[in-house]
Chain A
Amino acid sequence: MNRTRHAIKTGIDRGWTEFLLSLKSPQDQGFYLFMAVGILGYLWINRNDSIDGTSLLFPSVAMPSILGGLIAFGLVIGPGYSLAMEREDGTLLRAKAVPHGLTGYVTGQIVLQSAGILPSLVIILLPGMLLFDNLMQNGAAGWVTVVGVILLGLLATLPIGIILGSLVPGVQKMGTWGFLPIMMLTAISGIFFPMQSLWGWVQGVAQVFPIYWLGLGMRSAFLPDEAAVLEIGGSWRTTETLIALAAWAVVGLFLAPRVLKRMAQRQSGSQVEAARDQAAQWIR
């Protein structure tokens, strides 16, 4: 037990080191900047649109939804890509070759991916607060709710990312296995437009997955109570949000370690070599 704890501590250091390396990397900086400019630009263009039935402007409603969507997206695609990539390039095998290395590796991934949502939040929220009025309408209590929703969202979505990264056959398949379904789900989850404009069964599907609930939770944190009329049932459905996200967290936390372990057991040097050969041969 003591040795496992030691590995977890080493893993936390690992995740933090990787996070700092990511912050220093021009590649990652470019990604954060590109995303922030895109989202803020979208909100800026539509800054004067008013939302029917309320006194709110478009950016106020869209910002929390987009933040919720972004967190879900980042925490599924982020670890998914990392795991798929690091299975192929031998990072995971290195972890397997040291005592309790896998424990440390997974801990590192959790720290890295969780910390990784901070820069995107800061780089979008801070300029957003300056560009648009009245983004946060609930004061300090609202910010506390934001933190709570993010933490619960983290538990609900990060395990999905780890499962995805363990199951996807290779990094080249992340597009069809990861990106496409998440994009489609984001499109129907009320992130960019209210989902009530969609068919009933589509709304039903969207409400099974955590993205919708993350967006709803974030809106409830940022927006005044009068804005709840825009939601399904005219309510923030706080209890349902808690139950839906917690359910995903429980299922994910149960499945992720098992799926990950099964995948890691099959890791070997020749598998890494096969991936290397395959990467050199994109067109088959």
Chain B
Amino acid sequence: MITNSVIVAARDLRMRYGSNDVLDGVNFEVRRGEVVTLLGPNGAGKTTTIEILEGFRMRSAGSVMVLGSDPSDANEDWRARVGVVLQSWRDHARWTPRALLSHLGHYYEPYSTPERTRPHDVETLLRMVGLDEHADQKIRLLSGGQRRRLDVAVGIIGRPELLFLDEPTAGFDPQARREFHDLVHRLTDLEDTTILLTTHDLDEAEKLADRILILAGGRIVADGSADQLARDITREAQVRWSRNGEQFVHATPDATSFVRELFEQHGTEVTDLEVRRATLEDTYITLVQKFEGGQNAEGLTAFEEVSE
């Protein structure tokens, strides 16, 4: 089995609606087994990007490769290897989760291989997403969170090699969110599923993603792990400490040597020491302000320019 092979590649991807360039030369890759999160403000083109990769939308220009095919004219064999989690609304209101999953699973039967038997066993899947107790309830009667879990189950019923999720946890309560995160880890660990997801929840992005892409101003403006991004983009760390009951805060690009000096100077007087790296949120806000809100210089002077 080839690991680290690129299974999603976008090169100079462009999307234009009328005279508005939503995507203006997007470049990125996703390698096998990765969980990649696409972040960006509303209207940045996250959904457009995902829909182009899913083969549901035609791009204006550029090239896209997903699992070795161009999604805009990929065949049904390709479709069987790709999972899409859709935001359901009121479809299949009269069906039950069990009936719908076993119906949709049927379509995948001819695509089963010895290495990857398709579809998932419906009972196992229902348990996996925590819907076993509601398996025979009309879908119309499910709560919002239960419906979203059903959406996820529908997305993975065919045991996809690559899964697309567009804001999967919108409207989840904290417990449902935690369970969803566990499910994602299970998919990558046990099922060898590569995942590309969009979210607004930075905490979620940090928890789930091996790599984060930030889409702003029609381009990918950052690409790396949460730690990398924080280090590269907002380089300063905050150091807080107390001495003799007084509190201090200092921002520095080199926290380690600052703290060393601090101890050399004051020794045991230093208490409550806390070094805080820039969070993903700090990074994100910095980048988005820079690329979306024109050149908002004021907020930027404190930060180093990011190399594109």
Which residues of chain B from 90 to 112 have a CB within 8 Å of any chain A CB?
90-92, 94-95, 99, 103-104, 106-111
Query: Are B107 and A101 in contact, with the CB atoms below 8 A?
Result: yes
Minimum CB–CB distance from B288 to chain A (whole Å) comes to 21
Query: Are A10 and B76 in contact, with the CB atoms below 8 A?
Result: no
A99 to B119, CA, bound (A): 12
Query: Are B79 and A99 in contact, with the CB atoms below 8 A?
Result: yes
Query: Are B88 and A90 in contact, with the CB atoms below 8 A?
Result: yes
Minimum CB–CB distance from A26 to chain B (whole Å) comes to 11
* In the complex, per-residue mask of B70-87: 1 if CB is within 8 Å of any chain A CB, else 0: 000000110110011011
Cβ-based interface call for B166 (8 A): yes
Determine the chain A residues whose CB is within 8 A of the CB of B106 once the complex forms: 6, 10, 13
Query: Are A7 and B107 in contact, with the CB atoms below 8 A?
Result: yes
- Contacts A2-B110, A267-B56 given: A94-B91 contact, CB under 8 Å? yes
- The closest CB in chain A to the CB of B85 belongs to A97
A276 to B87, CA, bound (A): 11
Query: Are A273 and B87 in contact, with the CB atoms below 8 A?
Result: yes
Query: Are B84 and A97 in contact, with the CB atoms below 8 A?
Result: yes
A269 to B108, CA, bound (A): 22
Query: Are B107 and A21 in contact, with the CB atoms below 8 A?
Result: no
- For the A-B complex, the count of residue pairs with Cβ-Cβ distances under 8 Å equals 90
Determine the chain B residues whose CB is within 8 A of the CB of A93 once the complex forms: 56, 86
Determine the chain B residues whose CB is within 8 A of the CB of A6 once the complex forms: 106-107, 109-110
A180 to B244, CA, bound (A): 84
Determine the chain A residues whose CB is within 8 A of the CB of B57 once the complex forms: 268, 270
- Contacts A89-B89, A91-B92, A94-B91 given: A99-B104 contact, CB under 8 Å? no
- Contacts A2-B110, A94-B86 given: A269-B79 contact, CB under 8 Å? no
Selected from A7, A25, A270, the residue in CB contact (under 8 A) with B51 is A270
Minimum CB–CB distance from A145 to chain B (whole Å) comes to 36
A214 to B281, CA, bound (A): 67
Cβ-based interface call for B289 (8 A): no
Minimum CB–CB distance from B136 to chain A (whole Å) comes to 13
Cβ-based interface call for B33 (8 A): no
Query: Are B51 and A17 in contact, with the CB atoms below 8 A?
Result: no
Cβ-based interface call for A14 (8 A): yes
Cβ-based interface call for A100 (8 A): yes
Cβ-based interface call for A283 (8 A): no
Minimum CB–CB distance from B303 to chain A (whole Å) comes to 33
Interface size class of A (residues with CB under 8 A): 20 to 34
Determine the chain B residues whose CB is within 8 A of the CB of A90 once the complex forms: 86-89, 91
* In the complex, per-residue mask of A1-29: 1 if CB is within 8 Å of any chain B CB, else 0: 01100110010011001100110010000
A40 to B107, CA, bound (A): 43
How many chain B residues touch A (CB < 8 A): the figure is 34
Q: Which of A3, A86, A91, A97 has the most CB of B within 10 A?
A: A97
- The closest CB in chain B to the CB of A21 belongs to B94
Cβ-based interface call for A96 (8 A): yes
Which residues of chain A from 245 to 284 have a CB within 8 Å of any chain B CB?
267-270, 272-273, 276
Query: Are B51 and A268 in contact, with the CB atoms below 8 A?
Result: yes
Minimum CB–CB distance from B35 to chain A (whole Å) comes to 20
- Contacts A90-B86, A97-B86 given: A10-B110 contact, CB under 8 Å? no
Determine the chain B residues whose CB is within 8 A of the CB of A3 once the complex forms: 76, 110-111
- The closest CB in chain B to the CB of A90 belongs to B91
Query: Are B108 and A94 in contact, with the CB atoms below 8 A?
Result: no
Which residues of chain B from 288 to 306 have a CB within 8 Å of any chain A CB?
none
- The closest CB in chain B to the CB of A102 belongs to B76
A94 to B90, CA, bound (A): 12
Query: Are A10 and B107 in contact, with the CB atoms below 8 A?
Result: yes
A121 to B87, CA, bound (A): 38
Q: Which of A7, A86, A90, A273 has the most CB of B within 10 A?
A: A90
Q: Which of B99, B110, B154, B158 has the most CB of A within 10 A?
A: B110
- The closest CB in chain B to the CB of A4 belongs to B76
Cβ-based interface call for A184 (8 A): no
Minimum CB–CB distance from A262 to chain B (whole Å) comes to 13
Cβ-based interface call for B48 (8 A): yes
Minimum CB–CB distance from A36 to chain B (whole Å) comes to 22
Determine the chain B residues whose CB is within 8 A of the CB of A130 once the complex forms: none
Cβ-based interface call for A98 (8 A): yes
Cβ-based interface call for A74 (8 A): no
Q: Which of A13, A14, A18, A269 has the most CB of B within 10 A?
A: A269
30 A/B residue pairs, CB under 8 Å, sorted by A: A3-B110, A6-B110, A7-B107, A10-B103, A10-B106, A17-B99, A17-B103, A18-B94, A21-B94, A89-B91, A90-B89, A91-B92, A93-B56, A94-B104, A97-B54, A97-B84, A97-B155, A98-B80, A98-B107, A99-B158, A100-B76, A104-B107, A269-B51, A269-B56, A269-B166, A270-B47, A270-B48, A270-B51, A272-B86, A273-B87
List 3 tightest A-B contacts by C-beta distance, closest first.
A99-B80, A91-B91, A268-B56
Interface set of A (CB-CB < 8 Å, partner B): 2-3, 6-7, 10, 13-14, 17-18, 21-22, 25, 86, 89-91, 93-94, 96-101, 104, 267-270, 272-273, 276
Interface set of B (CB-CB < 8 Å, partner A): 47-48, 51, 54, 56-57, 76-77, 79-80, 83-84, 86-92, 94-95, 99, 103-104, 106-111, 154-155, 158, 166
Given contacts A6-B109, A90-B89, A270-B57, 19 further A-B contacts (CB under 8 A): A6-B106, A17-B95, A89-B89, A90-B91, A91-B92, A94-B86, A99-B76, A99-B77, A99-B80, A99-B107, A99-B108, A99-B158, A100-B76, A267-B56, A269-B56, A270-B47, A270-B51, A272-B87, A273-B87
